[in-house]
Chain A
């Protein structure tokens, strides 16, 4: 058996003097050295971008996170993007197809796209129309976990008559293609590297090769991604040498980094961060366009909420002004229609429900909830008026609004409780109709697809006539006719109080005064990073 034995303690020879003092000095010296390291001496021409979340993959179309799309814009390009004025700008294409220039067929079912001939992938291979075809195949591949195939799944075929022409065919008129191809589903993939490969666990996920102005040089999980300039970018070599995207994991670290002046741009700060950001010197808050808004989903077939009077009472009981002016930082107005005012198809003349507790109480009385228990909760036929609000856990700006709403509705005699759930569980709870009210945000494309109503319909809205208005939209070429149908639908939803819109959700970025050329659009904040300069 092996055993251990130390020499008996008494055999020690005398030590050098004062080992303790020597050790103490060593500790002091090391500590001073580490603490006194020079602060910030960043490389010239580097912009640091703060992102609250980290992409799971940089292979386009496999990750639905908006922040992933932001970063992907540095590495990849789209056929088109949305420019600062809200117009489409060609990126990989030479021009934006229209009926007038022959790019779109008369019936709106065929799109002919001419590609630039000077585009090269980071590995030197030229971009071809085969890449566009391959991208469509990836997005619609049933064996790939692609979160969103909208519009692309209606494509019948992508033809490649020559290297720089792609013809996209739909079975019928489709007006949503341009909007989709300029939004999150726009990045073109390299067929020569990925065709025939298994993409789910392909190394490309973490070592992407694109056509964009920057190339991924280093990705330190949980910390940052470093991207270096692509000097041969077809849109002109970037002025910056490097962009470092730092993944902060949340508001707290973002705030600290901004306060210490460690970043040129902070992406997607929360409305709860506005107060803080307004007090920063050397930075400006940029409100980018986004057709997104906060709302309360209502289960229209819930036994209590199927009564339109109860839904209207909830709408009257929600003080939108209070919420937008306080916890939303006063940068957005209240929203009444189900498309925000920034959207071209927004309807301004919908029924509004101003904050009016008395009107709300009267509506509840009419609906039969006219008894009030000793605890102040309304009762109808022995049933208490209890409503549960589903909320995604862990986000301050959601938690604030939900608690205010809960408090306001409690004043009406509604026993509102909050159920919190993680972000991943939220959609499945909603899809299973396991909710009464739910708080969250939703975004629409420039050409709205109305998946919120025609697809998921978590709110179980059953007015088929109203839904038919939307069903015709994607095949209506005339834009005014589309707008009229969409507006009519918004009026019905507001009249029925089938959904409770609260306020727009703007894209809020904090940019350094040193950063020039930064211009967020519907295509995101980083789409033109090659034009950025640092003062």
Chain B
């Protein structure tokens, strides 16, 4: 499996290169460049701007800039943040963990709630439950998270004062896990709720099918209790479609996290990307985008590996 993972990682390198080239070219589109930020003060002279562009190598041809960037990237130098005056790597890595907390929390909530709901409805096997699940999943897919997030924040945060008003922790206090979790609950639920019903339908469908399989019936005949039967025997098979869809959903989950971060002032990569795009801090934009891409690729790899863990028929060869 290790060799498989390694090969997959190496295999995704050309893809990463292509992505980086595409994004780098996109960043050349705007009229004017990062040096404009310094010209925002009308007292800055054109010469001053030229000086800054030369200082940061922005006056060189695009391909040269790209190759320099790529070479530096390989050496661990991700460029220098124009707006934070420190290495872009420090800027983005600081935010990566925060984004992982949020996506992880959302994923955890989505999976736990989704599986619970799926199992419950599969066991009750009533038509009404199934219809309700379908309706819920449609609503989950259709409510924009920035809207539901804003409403949750206004309602529970401002109006009732139940949840914090955003951010990752109490301002100026030392880090505490409980404090982080306290702040994580609302955004994770908002982000995760999109997927709950959708995923529960996969669990539901998979379970219904699996419960009809021979080996589960055998287990039943052997006297294995109901819940162990479901979780130990039927569930692994039922989870396979879930894992597939999980892998496909990762880019959308990351997109959703970006919006949720903005709504809940969560200092993650998405919020960083928004501000650095508006501030034309291109090294940070590039670094943040590449990290998001890496996140998607790694998540895809992990789903593929999980696939194999769940399905004994899969061999990595």
Chain A contact residues, CB within 8 Å of chain B:
1-6, 8-10, 12, 14-15, 19-20, 27, 30-31, 33-35, 37, 39, 42-43, 46, 48, 56-57, 59, 62, 64, 142-143, 145-150, 200-201, 205-206, 218, 220-224, 226, 242, 244, 246, 248-249, 253, 256-257, 259-260, 262, 394, 422-429, 431, 442, 449, 451-452, 455-456, 458
Contact between chains at A428 and B158 (CB < 8 Å):
no
Q: Assuming A10-B218, A145-B38, A150-B43, what are 12 further A-B pairs, CB within 8 angstroms?
A: A6-B312, A27-B112, A34-B178, A57-B84, A145-B35, A149-B48, A222-B271, A223-B171, A242-B172, A246-B172, A260-B157, A429-B32
CA gap between A426 and B39 in the complex, in Å:
9
Contact between chains at B85 and A221 (CB < 8 Å):
no
Contact between chains at A56 and B85 (CB < 8 Å):
yes
Chosen A-B contacts, 6 in total, with CB atoms closer than 8 Å, are A20-B227, A249-B271, A256-B153, A427-B44, A451-B42, A451-B43
Chain A-chain B contacts (Cβ-Cβ < 8 Å), number: 201
Contact between chains at A221 and B39 (CB < 8 Å):
no
Contact between chains at A249 and B317 (CB < 8 Å):
no
Contact between chains at A147 and B41 (CB < 8 Å):
yes
Contact between chains at B166 and A253 (CB < 8 Å):
yes
Shortest CB distance B182–A (Å): 5
Contact between chains at B215 and A9 (CB < 8 Å):
yes
Residue in A46, A56, A423, A426 whose beta carbon sits within 8 Å of that of B172 in the complex = A46
Residue in A145, A218, A222, A456 whose beta carbon sits within 8 Å of that of B52 in the complex = A145
CA gap between A452 and B41 in the complex, in Å:
10
CA gap between A248 and B262 in the complex, in Å:
11
CA gap between A206 and B81 in the complex, in Å:
13
Is B51 interfacial (CB-CB < 8 Å)? yes
Is B40 interfacial (CB-CB < 8 Å)? yes
Contact between chains at B85 and A62 (CB < 8 Å):
yes
Contact between chains at A244 and B278 (CB < 8 Å):
no
Is B4 interfacial (CB-CB < 8 Å)? yes
Interface centre among B52, B82, B94, B314 (most CB of A within 10 A): B52
Is B86 interfacial (CB-CB < 8 Å)? yes
Q: Given A14-B228, A262-B165, A431 and B317 touching (CB < 8 A)?
A: no
Contact between chains at A456 and B42 (CB < 8 Å):
yes
**Secondary structure class of chain A's binding surface, majority of residues:** loop
Q: Given A145-B55, A394-B278, A12 and B316 touching (CB < 8 A)?
A: no
Is B249 interfacial (CB-CB < 8 Å)? no
Shortest CB distance A176–B (Å): 12
CA gap between A5 and B271 in the complex, in Å:
41
CA gap between A27 and B116 in the complex, in Å:
13
Shortest CB distance A47–B (Å): 11
Q: B232: which A residues are within 8 A, CB to CB?
A: 9, 12, 15
Contact between chains at A260 and B158 (CB < 8 Å):
yes
Shortest CB distance B233–A (Å): 5
Q: A223: which B residues are within 8 A, CB to CB?
A: 167-169, 171, 267
Shortest CB distance B56–A (Å): 8
CA gap between A252 and B147 in the complex, in Å:
14
Residue of A with least CB distance to B275: A249
Q: B86: which A residues are within 8 A, CB to CB?
A: 201, 205-206
Is B95 interfacial (CB-CB < 8 Å)? yes
Residue in B36, B161, B272, B312 whose beta carbon sits within 8 Å of that of A425 in the complex = B36
CA gap between A201 and B228 in the complex, in Å:
59
Is B241 interfacial (CB-CB < 8 Å)? no
Shortest CB distance A25–B (Å): 14
Q: A394: which B residues are within 8 A, CB to CB?
A: 278
Is B308 interfacial (CB-CB < 8 Å)? yes
CA gap between A34 and B38 in the complex, in Å:
44
Is B1 interfacial (CB-CB < 8 Å)? yes
Q: A34: which B residues are within 8 A, CB to CB?
A: 178, 181-182, 185
Residue of A with least CB distance to B156: A35
Q: A253: which B residues are within 8 A, CB to CB?
A: 165-166, 265
Is B69 interfacial (CB-CB < 8 Å)? no
Residue of B with least CB distance to A457: B42
Shortest CB distance A292–B (Å): 12
Q: Given A9-B236, A425-B30, A37 and B182 touching (CB < 8 A)?
A: yes
Q: A425: which B residues are within 8 A, CB to CB?
A: 30-32, 36, 280
Interface centre among A8, A62, A147, A452 (most CB of B within 10 A): A147
Q: Given A148-B44, A260-B161, A57 and B278 touching (CB < 8 A)?
A: no
CA gap between A2 and B305 in the complex, in Å:
13
CA gap between A12 and B275 in the complex, in Å:
52
Contact between chains at B215 and A10 (CB < 8 Å):
yes
CA gap between A225 and B104 in the complex, in Å:
27
Contact between chains at A3 and B317 (CB < 8 Å):
yes
CA gap between A458 and B40 in the complex, in Å:
13
Contact between chains at B178 and A59 (CB < 8 Å):
no
Shortest CB distance A403–B (Å): 21
Shortest CB distance A290–B (Å): 16
Q: B32: which A residues are within 8 A, CB to CB?
A: 424-425, 428-429
Is B127 interfacial (CB-CB < 8 Å)? no
Contact between chains at A201 and B85 (CB < 8 Å):
yes
Is B179 interfacial (CB-CB < 8 Å)? yes
Q: Given A3-B315, A6-B236, A221 and B84 touching (CB < 8 A)?
A: yes
Q: Given A34-B181, A56-B83, A1 and B43 touching (CB < 8 A)?
A: no
Q: A19: which B residues are within 8 A, CB to CB?
A: 227
CA gap between A1 and B182 in the complex, in Å:
46
Is B219 interfacial (CB-CB < 8 Å)? yes
Q: Given A10-B219, A260-B165, A428 and B39 touching (CB < 8 A)?
A: yes
Shortest CB distance A263–B (Å): 9
Shortest CB distance B48–A (Å): 7
CA gap between A262 and B227 in the complex, in Å:
48
